[in-house]
Structure 1
């Protein structure tokens, strides 16, 4: 029996190409470092990946050509960031696959190898992840602010009013081309948190309100005393 065609244009165009880009440990390290939504200079990514400047330059060029990274020129320096929210979501999904496949870790419990502060609250590209984010998402659903439709979410009339009090304009978010709201499986908690444009808007609002701030460690978020009070109030409201 003849083997199936190997031309990647026959089935799932580009899948093998993207998988090959993600398969290299150095490139994976650079991508993971950018999962906080930041733009980092090539030199910093070179050190993170533990590569020579010439090798890192070649890897960054491949990632940019493959559509996974977006380069930005700032003066004499070149910065890189994750190209799109869809790319970030795919990387986060692969992390879920990696954790689920780890034989030493039951799928229903948080990964003990993840630092405590990162399990508690962190960024997932441009929205919040970790224990706090999972709990907030549960409360939004239980409180009737959000209604689940498989992986997609809709905001109820009550939710529109309550989110408006938090400074979130739901109508404006719906007008964006980006996916409005969806569940995102949290790779440390193994439960969903809120993603999409609404998830990003909430993290932005929490930060502007002084409830959440970025820690010195990449991706880690710190819940401020004011934020802890507001989240505790939300639990009991």
Structure 2
């Protein structure tokens, strides 16, 4: 693994396996990190580090991921992120958004989230990362959003998860991703809840909310139902 990109805001360490996508990746991160900093109203951050792995066995051994790799996986530390990707199994854009997703976690925790090891609210953090990474940008289109809501959120066998389910990563019913019965997916719900807050709160209100664990907990009693009602109405009235 060698230094593959060295920019003002980040460094990328990777094997030659990733050389062919490095120019496009750099362009995506250049734009995405600045947009994330602007969203959080940050003038300066410490340089971030990205480590890219192309060996699934090595990655699994080092980081013991909770979810199946399926061609890509990511995790984050205090100032760095570690990503596994198989470019034969995933689109390169999926890699770009995965990296920015994990970097958003780092930026939010280090500069915005209320300080303290126990102050992370998983759904809130994951929702911000999903929103700012660009991974769900296709849902800006109302037709795509309508299809997403009808299949992933209000479709057959789907349910509104208890907010407590979205506090802990895992793949069982009652944890973040219900891979057993497929009644909900915490990543989908987290994105929608953050988008709901962004679309309905003032910037001042959102900035205050992002910085206070208690303020986030205070909205949890209604956030899932409010989000469901907001988006099911939104896609029906367009």
TM-score normalized by the length of structure 1: 0.30
TM-score normalized by the length of structure 2: 0.30
- Which has the larger helix fraction? 2
- The structure with the largest alpha-carbon Rg is 1
- Which has the larger strand fraction? 1
